[in-house]
Homo-oligomer: A and B are copies of this chain.
């Protein structure tokens, strides 16, 4: 194993909680295509989603945010917790990666808490950490083979993101401050990867009272901030 990884894992032993990691599915909206960010480790190690460990005095949420910052230089993404992946066999093939030359905390089983975030990739300049060869965006069904259960994490995160579209207001930060109804519908269609019936979509948006007409332009809307802050959109 290369010395930079050895150094990282040796350092880590005193700093982080044992058995626990975080992994983050970063979605990017590229026009009408949803993509997922994957990292290629150096030294013929496999592809992975960005992840890391939890410091002794750090919250899970902060650990996930730090992982995304350290691996990719992405600072300001809202991360949503999806699921804790805790099957004892989840780290398939770990032994063959030869993490360390002597027994180490890295050989132990890890439970990993998965998060997702959605970014607008325009002007996002990725700063990939030294341990990795590169970062690339992939459509969810064209991802390369991912380490451990990271493919299951991507599936679970995508299902949670899609569910969230109908449970909570969505779109701030991904749309301009004022937008047309068709812009919001297109964002939904991109994430759901299917066309939606315009009448039903607009009826649902109207019932949920999510938008306000923008005073400066006809046919343009803004999010209704009071509704946007509320937790749940319910059908009745």
Contact = CB atoms under 8 A, between A and B. Distances in A.
A235 B60 contact: no
A67 interface: no
Contact of A87 (B59, B159, B200, B234): B59
What is the copy number of this chain in the assembly? 2
A111 B236 contact: no
What's the interface size class on A, roughly? Answer: 35 or more
Contacts of A200: 235-236
A56 B204 contact: no
6 contacts: A17-B19, A84-B84, A166-B234, A167-B167, A196-B236, A201-B236
B17 A204 contact: no
Given A57-B88, A167-B167, A235-B235, 6 more contacts: A18-B18, A59-B88, A60-B111, A159-B231, A196-B236, A200-B236
Nearest to A196: B236
A54 B88 CA distance: 10
A61 interface: yes
A163 interface: yes
A178 interface: no
A131 interface: no
A38 to B, nearest CB: 23
Residue of A18, A63, A196, A231 with highest tally of chain B CB at under 10 A: A18
Contacts of A111: 17, 20, 54, 60, 113
Contact of A84 (B57, B81, B109, B235): B81
Nearest to A234: B166
